């Protein structure tokens, strides 16, 4: 039986963006610990075309410690903008519309995050049921969520806007929605 390998700082070729308690752990050990602490939400990113939006959403998701990240669309995931945080995330990539339906069925509540006049409600006027397995869905940077997905959502939320722009970019919107979700835990 071989001795367990001790991890030293020289085992890491570059610094990792992790909190101090994880600095000396392997990625596998970090993942194992995170599995016991994850919040009861996942995100679905639909047809995003900009790597920076995908990467920043992945990085933010790692910071808010959600369950899964589901990427839908034919674009390959460029890991660079996520600054290594993909290593601590569970990422699923769906390329075909037929693959979405079974995934949606795994969630107790599917929430579309898009400004749809007359249909969406401000996230500030909404609450989350933390006992429900929740999927937060974000759409394409220009077109928002596909109509077929909007039809499958249990409810729709939007972020109130006060300035000249119609919306935030999708990575910022995802960050705000995830923050709103975890902010209410323990209240």
Neighbours of 89 (CB within 10 A): 19
| Contact status, residue 170 vs residue 48, Cβ threshold 8 Å | yes
| pLDDT in the model for residue 9 | 52
Predicted confidence (pLDDT) per residue in 132-151, tens digit: 999 999 998 788 999 999 99
- Could you please state the CATH topology (level 3) that the domain comprising 39-183 is classified under: Alpha/beta knot (3.40.1280)
pLDDT-derived band of residue 5, with 50, 70 and 90 as boundaries?
low
* H/E stretch holding 122: strand 121-122
| pLDDT in the model for residue 108 | 98
| pLDDT in the model for residue 48 | 83
Which residues partner with 13 through β-bridges?
none
Pinpoint the alpha helices (H) of 35-169: 51-64, 100-104, 147-152
Predicted confidence (pLDDT) per residue in 21-41, tens digit: 888 888 899 999 999 999 999
Say if residue 13's pLDDT is above 60: no
3-state secondary structure of 138: strand
Under 8 Å CB-to-CB from 92, ≥6 apart: which residues? 68, 69, 70, 71, 103
Question: What is the C-alpha separation between 137 and 167, in angstroms, rounded?
Answer: 15
| Contact status, residue 138 vs residue 171, Cβ threshold 8 Å | no
| pLDDT in the model for residue 51 | 83
* H/E stretch holding 110: strand 109-113
Q: Identify which of 80, 26, 57, 82 has the alpha carbon closest to the alpha carbon of residue 173.
A: 57
| pLDDT in the model for residue 17 | 76
pTM confidence score: 0.87
Between 107 and 80, where is the model more confident? 107
| pLDDT in the model for residue 12 | 52
| pLDDT in the model for residue 114 | 95
Neighbours of 43 (CB within 10 A): 26
Distances (CA, A) of 55 to 50, 101, 172: 9, 25, 11
| pLDDT in the model for residue 66 | 96
């Amino acid at each position: 039986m071989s001795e367990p390998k001790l991890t030293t700082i020289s085992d890491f070729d570059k610094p990792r963006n992790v909190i101090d308690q994880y600095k000396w752990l392997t990625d596998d050990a970090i993942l194992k610990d995170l599995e016991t602490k994850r919040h009861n939400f996942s995100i679905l990113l639909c047809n995003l075309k900009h790597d920076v939006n995908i990467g920043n959403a992945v990085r933010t998701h790692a910071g808010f410690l959600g369950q899964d990240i589901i990427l839908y669309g034919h674009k390959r995931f460029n890991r660079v903008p996520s600054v290594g945080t993909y290593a601590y995330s569970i990422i699923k990539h769906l390329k075909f519309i037929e693959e979405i339906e079974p995934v949606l069925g795994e969630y107790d509540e599917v929430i579309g995050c898009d400004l749809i006049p007359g249909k969406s409600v401000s996230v500030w006027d909404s609450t989350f049921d933390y006992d429900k397995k929740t999927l937060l869905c974000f759409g394409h940077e220009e077109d928002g969520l596909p109509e077929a997905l909007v039809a499958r959502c249990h409810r729709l939320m939007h972020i109130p806007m006060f300035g000249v722009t119609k919306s935030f970019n999708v990575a910022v919107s995802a960050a705000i929605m995830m923050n709103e979700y975890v902010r209410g835990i323990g209240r």
